[in-house]
């Protein structure tokens, strides 16, 4: 154990920390020194999105002290930036989330900041909505989104309801880093500065969600659309059933095994609707009821997973790209057909989300912008284009959608209602969502994507990931799966290089540690270290034409094989 780690441990044992914390440290010293070292070898980084980590004692863990120091730094920056400050605070179902939210509320209050604290669990998107509705200067939500139960997190927001972007993200980080001791934190303040909120914001939020509907008639006519919904033990149970009722859907079946909010997530390992295992109970329920659609939301209800019957009548989960392109296409088409479309409508996606959306937008004469991964960049683009272009929908492949600009973060509540509206519209036509998907592939080309994540845990994990990325930068592959690599896009260096003739051009997006390889046959491979987990993610996108729906299976197999060939040639198995 190095000296810095030992010093951190000794500081906690001798400092003004509670006895339960000191006792736990001593137990780890005796029983698990390796875990103790991991808990103290570094400070849990307050990154551009806030904090996220395993809960427990230590500088590298989520606990009341790391939350306290982060909140003091954030409070200092808010007070420097505005003459009067109001913040909103929400939290999810995770263990300790309420405690962390109340600690943060007390610290803000002690710093003279007016706090609106949700009375109980709420979806993350409602926090974004509350910031805008209550005209706050900032806010935070205590959540670790879809991470395993051992994790918790702290996401900080700015006055527009979006997560922190430059320069505020770096400025807040600098203020947090100035808090060297827990003695610098104002732990207890004026309780009169804290106001509990709940029902009124819920009602305003649900009214907003209802207003996003483009075809209310279809929802009313297909009110008995058979919907299976699982909140996966999370906050979605608070608002999703109510939102579906607002749309007129009255045949909603909630997966009872996963209905109760529970931070231990007893029926799943990863409370992530991207995972088939996580959605397996819902899939069985949908099959048993012969449902029209299955929807699932993650613990803080900002991500949505959708299950449908495929072209063979088997229940399958749509991937995030498929869900996004169905929603993007529907909103663009429905706005046009209903006369709601505006000449300056725009849509936004991230650089690792299917390029099929670009084609759909281009075909409809709508601007489609590509931003870095994360909805904070979509929110920033909306700000930039405000008054010039009309934002209608944004999304990314990681099961996130943001419909309309009343909030500035991904929202699974409105996504669930919109997907059900689309299913109702298609049912009126005698079709399923999967049949609509295949129709889009025939019209625009069959784009097929896959994501793999390599986990690199512990002290050496981040080093391994950094070395992998540097290796790709220094020695980019000349060929992938038999096709020459023609372009390397390096978002960290902000350069796009033609590897065939050596020409380079500047990328205008902010710096980000992302690499993309474009091959001569049109394949796109993206490499990106995760900002919230010890993982490096690889995104693969291939495409070809689909002449008829009857060719779907054969064409999909061909694209699947192509991606497997790419993975093999890059030694990522």
Instruction: Note the pLDDT tens digit of each residue in 204-239.
Output: 999 999 999 999 999 999 999 999 999 999 999 999
Asked if pLDDT for residue 18 goes beyond 80, the answer is: yes
- Pairing type for strands 345-350 and 367-371 reads parallel
Q: What pairs with residue 55 in β-bridges?
A: 62
Exposed / middle / buried, residue 215 (Cβ in 10 Å: 0-12, 13-18, 19+): middle
15 preceded by cis ω (within 30°)?
no
Whole-model pTM?
0.95
CATH number, span 448-569? 3.30.310.50
Look at the block and give the residue holding tokens 């139960």: 149
User: What letter would DSSP give residue 104?
Assistant: H
Q: What angle do CA 543, 353, 346 make, to 5 degrees?
A: 110
Q: Which residues of 385-412 are buried (b: 16+ CB within 10 A; e: fewer)?
A: beeebbbbbbbbbbbbbbbbbbbbbbbb
Q: What is the largest CA-CA distance in the chain?
A: 72
Per-residue pLDDT tens over the stretch 115-170: 999 999 999 999 999 999 999 999 999 999 999 999 999 999 999 999 999 999 99
Per-residue pLDDT tens over the stretch 405-460: 999 999 999 999 999 999 999 999 999 999 999 999 999 999 999 999 898 876 67
Give the residue ranges of DSSP H helices in 429-551.
433-444, 461-474
Q: What angle do CA 169, 415, 559 make, to 5 degrees?
A: 90
The kind and range of the H/E element at 376 are helix 375-385
Look at the block and give the residue holding tokens 């109510």: 242
Q: Which CATH number fits domain 205-444: 3.40.120.10, 3.30.70.60, 3.90.180.10, 3.20.20.10?
A: 3.40.120.10
The predicted model gives 266-291 an average pLDDT of: 96
CA distance 132 to 116: 12
The answer to whether 46 touches 73, Cβ cutoff 8 Å, is yes
- Residue among 332, 330, 405, 331 at smallest CA distance from 362: 332
- Residue among 294, 315, 387, 306 at smallest CA distance from 346: 387
Q: Do domains 42-197 and 448-569 have the same CATH topology?
A: no
Fold for the domain defined by 42-197: Alpha-D-Glucose-1,6-Bisphosphate; Chain A, domain 3 (3.40.120)
Which amino acids are annotated catalytic?
145
Q: HSE, CB side, 13 Å, CA atoms: give it for residue 502.
A: 0
Domain locations in the chain as residue ranges: 42-197, 205-444, 448-569
CA distance 547 to 555: 10
């Amino acid at each position: 154990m190095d000296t810095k780690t030992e010093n951190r441990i000794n500081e906690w044992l001798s400092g003004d920390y509670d006895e339960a914390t000191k006792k736990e440290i001593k137990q780890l010293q005796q029983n698990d020194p390796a875990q103790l070292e991991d808990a103290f070898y570094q400070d849990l980084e307050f990154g551009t999105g806030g904090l996220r980590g395993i809960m427990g004692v230590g500088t590298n863990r989520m606990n009341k002290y790391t939350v306290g120091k982060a909140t003091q730094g954030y409070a200092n920056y808010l007070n420097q930036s505005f003459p009067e400050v109001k913040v909103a605070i929400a939290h999810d179902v995770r263990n300790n989330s309420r405690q962390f939210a109340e600690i943060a509320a007390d610290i803000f209050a002690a710093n003279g900041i007016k706090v609106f604290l949700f009375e109980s669990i709420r979806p993350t998107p409602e926090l974004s909505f509350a910031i805008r509705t209550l005209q706050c200067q900032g806010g935070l939500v205590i959540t670790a989104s879809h991470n395993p139960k051992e994790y918790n997190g702290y996401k900080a927001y700015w006055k527009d309801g979006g997560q922190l972007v430059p320069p505020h993200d770096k400025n807040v980080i600098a203020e947090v880093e100035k808090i060297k001791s827990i003695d610098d934190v104002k732990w207890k303040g004026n309780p009169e500065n804290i106001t509990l909120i709940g029902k009124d914001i819920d009602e305003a939020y649900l009214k907003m969600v209802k207003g996003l509907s483009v075809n209310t008639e279809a929802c009313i006519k297909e009110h008995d659309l058979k919907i299976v919904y699982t909140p996966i033990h999370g906050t979605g149970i608070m608002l999703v059933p109510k939102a579906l009722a607002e749309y007129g859907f009255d045949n909603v079946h909630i997966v009872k095994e996963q209905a109760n909010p529970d931070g231990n997530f007893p029926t799943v390992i990863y409370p992530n609707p991207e995972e088939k295992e996580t959605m397996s109970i819902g899939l069985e329920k949908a099959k048993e009821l012969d449902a029209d659609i299955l929807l699932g939301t993650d613990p803080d209800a900002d991500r949505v997973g959708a299950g449908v019957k495929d072209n063979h009548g088997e229940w399958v989960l749509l991937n995030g790209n498929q869900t996004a392109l169905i929603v993007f296409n529907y909103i663009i088409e429905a706005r046009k057909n209903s006369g709601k479309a505006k000449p300056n409508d725009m849509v936004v996606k991230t650089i690792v989300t299917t390029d099929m959306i670009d084609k759909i937008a281009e075909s409809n004469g709508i601007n489609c912008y590509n931003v870095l991964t994360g909805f904070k960049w979509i929110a920033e683009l909306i700000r930039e284009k405000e008054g010039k272009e009309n934002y209608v929908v944004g999304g990314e492949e990681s099961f996130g959608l943001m419909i309309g600009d009343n909030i500035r973060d991904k929202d699974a509540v409105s996504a669930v209602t919109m997907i059900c509206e689309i299913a109702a519209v298609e049912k009126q036509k005698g079709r399923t969502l999967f049949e609509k998907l295949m129709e889009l592939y025939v019209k625009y080309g069959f784009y097929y994507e896959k994501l793999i994540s390599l986990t690199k845990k512990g002290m050496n994990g981040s080093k391994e990931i950094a070395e992998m990325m540097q290796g790709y930068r220094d020695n980019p592959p000349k060929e992938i799966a038999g096709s020459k690599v023609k372009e390397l896009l390096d978002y960290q260096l902000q350069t796009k290089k033609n590897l065939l003739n050596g020409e380079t051009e500047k990328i205008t997006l902010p710096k980000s540690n992302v690499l993309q390889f474009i091959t001569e046959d049109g394949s796109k491979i993206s490499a990106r270290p995760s900002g919230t987990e010890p993982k490096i993610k690889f995104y693969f996108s291939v495409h070809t034409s689909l002449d008829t729906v009857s060719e779907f299976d054969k064409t999909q197999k061909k694209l699947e094989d192509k991606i497997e060939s790419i993975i093999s040639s890059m030694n990522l198995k």
